[in-house]
A and B are shown apart, each in its own frame.
Chain A
Amino acid sequence: MKTIVLGIGNLILGDDGVGIHVANELKNHINDPSITIDEAITGGMNLLDLILGYDKAIIIDAVKSNTGEHGTVKRIPIGNFNTMHSCNPHDVSLMEAIQMAKKMGETRIPKEIIIIGIMMKTIPCEFGEQLSTDIQKAVPEAIQLTLNEIKKKMKNTQ
């Protein structure tokens, strides 16, 4: 069973880069050849390309909350997003990309796709490389949730 852990974000857009900060930290915790840790600054179809061929994908990313939550971390199976959009107006969302790929007969889509979402009430709009204090505090929990998610998989397959 092959798993990919993918940190998503933009390292020059402050808190938006949190997924990548978490993924980089995870490299110190994981040493297992069946687990790939990578980072990406993309979404939609490009993101789908990156996770094809894995059994499970864990995607760590900033998630815009509708309820004002800020700095909390949530495990969200991909099917639970009632709205999910592309990373940009010029692409489709990951869900649309998956639907489309299924329609085209793609067989390499991971069976399980889990988002580890760091909730944010505002979308970062200012250039910077640092995480804010609130979001920095969320990093250890995001790491822990991701590690739990990986362990879960081990249990199921052993």
Chain B
Amino acid sequence: MKQVTIDPITRLEGHGKINIFLDDKGNVANTYLQIPELRGFERFSQGRRAEDMPQITSRICGVCPVAHHFAATKALDAAFNTEPPSAAKKLRELMYVGYYIYDHILHFYYLGGPDFVVGPDAPPGKRNVLGVIEKAGVEIGKEVIKHRAYGQRITAILGGKATHPVCGLPGGVSKGLNKEEVKEIQEKVTSCIDFAKFSLKLFDDIVLQNKDYVNLILSDPYTLKTYNMGMVDKNNKVNFYDGQIRITDQEGNEHDKFEGNQYYDKIVEHVEEWSYIKFPYLKDIGWKGMKDGKDSGIYRVGPLGRLNAAEGMATPLADKEYKRFYETLGGKSVNSTLAFHWARLIELLYATERADELIKDSEITSKKVRNPVGEPGEGIGVVEAARGTLYHHYKLDKDGLIDKANLIVATTNNAGAINMSIRDAAKGVIKNGNVDNTTLNMVEMAFRAYDPCFACATHTLPGGMPLEINIYDHQRNLYKTLKQHL
């Protein structure tokens, strides 16, 4: 056999690609996930007014505008040496949990959920939200649409615009809430709490009561023993908007805890020549290649990473679910990739309960929503985007213009883990060169659990999310290609 020294895959443009290489027996030798990444952000930002960053960065991605908006706003708080009044922090957090409500509902019912609710071996045409509704009923479909819209509405009331908020300013927010708005939000939040409880019940009935599904969740190909990263409050409970970054190991022990603005001492980005996206790892552990375990610095973020990185949820119902999660799945840490879906629903419940606490807070109608800013400098803002920890780092010049900008986005934090999860799932299901739609869906399930974000070309019709799976034989000839949305 000819010695192949250069991987025959080039960096990709435009769409996600999974390349699977088989050995001479037709089993999986290796896999490579390639995700397009938007380029040139630093150059694009240079010389812009810093206060425009919350608006500009919220356009990076049609998926998490609210997360970028507040990571940027918090970076500006720091860069302008100011601190928002307590009411402004609460308003920001209320808006932020509103974003979680719609985003987590969307992922569970539309994207990740179909694998379980309709079944992993259902034909591709049925594995979508319409299949979910067919199975669960039209009434539930209406509830899904309604509550997703409620989440959107809450962020729109607070943010000024549903999709691209305009409220975040260094030192606070541009407007507070009036009594009518409070009333409207309260009604919606109350309804959302019930819907979150219902969603967990649905997960219980359909997934947890099905032994095959539980076994699938706990099976080896879907297990990855990495470190976990997430933001926690002072009691080590999950927080999406503010707190310290906590790292736990594969058994749930605290490995590190730091302020978000120390991230560059803690995280290093590894570069692979076949990938635009970089692979961050924990600096103190080091890069050991695409490996899990204690010696490898790869970590996971997002719902599962966050739950593992914390010691509980800060609201009562969600905390109860949190305990049940670990009791059911065998204690800390839960290293089962497919458990992301359950973790996401627990976070949905937390988001609704937290929204309820915040909207009932007497300070929420306060008029004091902004503090003055100081001299421009350097600032780092960190939030938990729905998909994981998001870092914005700006250096301003003396006129308040952007000199340097660096972002580490959620999917980048998960890049190493996603790549390995795909490899392990592929090894588990592709045997002797047998590849069909079901096996490929099983591979994709590993990928979908993370809810990865291909920010690239988010608005191009027919779409920016095509995925191509190429399978190569042991001589690296293309053996099979499966294209989705291409």
Contacts and interface: CB of A to CB of B under 8 A. Distances in A.
Given A12-B56, A100-B145, A88 B130 contact: no
B138 interface: yes
Interface residues of A, number: 49
A73 interface: no
B103 to A, nearest CB: 7
Contacts of A151: none
A103 B110 contact: no
Interface string A35-77: 0000011110110010000000001011110100000000000
Interface stretch (B182-190, B459-467, B468-476): B459-467
Contacts of B457: 13, 16, 64, 123-125
Contacts of A88: 61-63, 453-455, 458, 464-465
A10 to B, nearest CB: 5
Contacts of B106: 45, 90-91
B459 A61 contact: yes
A143 interface: no
Interface string B435-458: 000000000000000011111111
Instruction: Choose among B141, B462, B463 the residue with the greatest number of A CB atoms under 10 Å from its CB.
Output: B462
A5 interface: no
Contacts of B274: none
B82 interface: no
Contacts of B283: none
Contacts of A45: 106, 145, 148
Contacts of A9: 459
B461 A123 contact: no
B130 A11 contact: no
A40 B41 CA distance: 21
B485 A103 contact: no
Given A12-B59, A43-B62, A85-B465, A125 B459 contact: no
Instruction: Choose among A63, A85, A86, A89 the residue with the greatest number of B CB atoms under 10 Å from its CB.
Output: A89
Interface in A80-95: 81, 83-93
A84 B164 CA distance: 24
B106 to A, nearest CB: 6
Contact of A12 (B44, B103, B148, B149): B44
Nearest to B149: A49
Nearest to A91: B106
B33 to A, nearest CB: 13
B34 to A, nearest CB: 13
Contacts of B59: 10-12, 41
A141 interface: no
A96 B128 contact: yes
A121 B59 CA distance: 23
B126 interface: no
B15 interface: yes
Contacts of A61: 459-461
Contacts of B44: 12, 127-128
Interface string A1-45: 000000011111100100100000000000000000000111101
A84 B61 CA distance: 19
B69 to A, nearest CB: 13
A45 B37 CA distance: 24
Given A100-B141, A103-B141, A123-B464, A87 B40 contact: no
Interface string A117-137: 100101111111000000000
B63 to A, nearest CB: 5
B14 interface: yes
Contacts of B164: 41
Contacts of B103: 90
Given A87-B463, A89-B465, A125-B38, A10 B458 contact: yes
Contact of B461 (A11, A13, A62, A66): A62
Instruction: Choose among A42, A81, A85 the residue with the greatest number of B CB atoms under 10 Å from its CB.
Output: A85
A85 to B, nearest CB: 2
Contacts of A59: 461
B133 interface: yes
Contacts of B485: 83, 85
A117 B111 contact: no
Interface string B26-70: 000000000011111101100000000000100111110000000
A74 B15 CA distance: 23
B162 interface: yes
A115 interface: yes
B257 interface: no
A154 interface: no
B163 interface: yes
A95 to B, nearest CB: 9
A84 B56 CA distance: 27
B129 interface: yes
Query: Which 3 interchain pairs have the tightest Cβ spacing?
Result: A85-B463, A123-B457, A127-B44
Given A10-B59, A91-B110, A125-B13, 13 more contacts: A61-B460, A63-B461, A64-B457, A81-B462, A83-B463, A88-B62, A88-B454, A100-B141, A122-B14, A123-B15, A123-B460, A123-B464, A128-B44
6 contacts: A11-B59, A45-B145, A62-B460, A66-B486, A85-B465, A85-B466
Interface of B: 13-15, 36-41, 43-44, 56, 59-63, 103, 106-107, 110-111, 128-130, 133, 138, 141-142, 145, 148-149, 152, 162-164, 451-466, 485-486
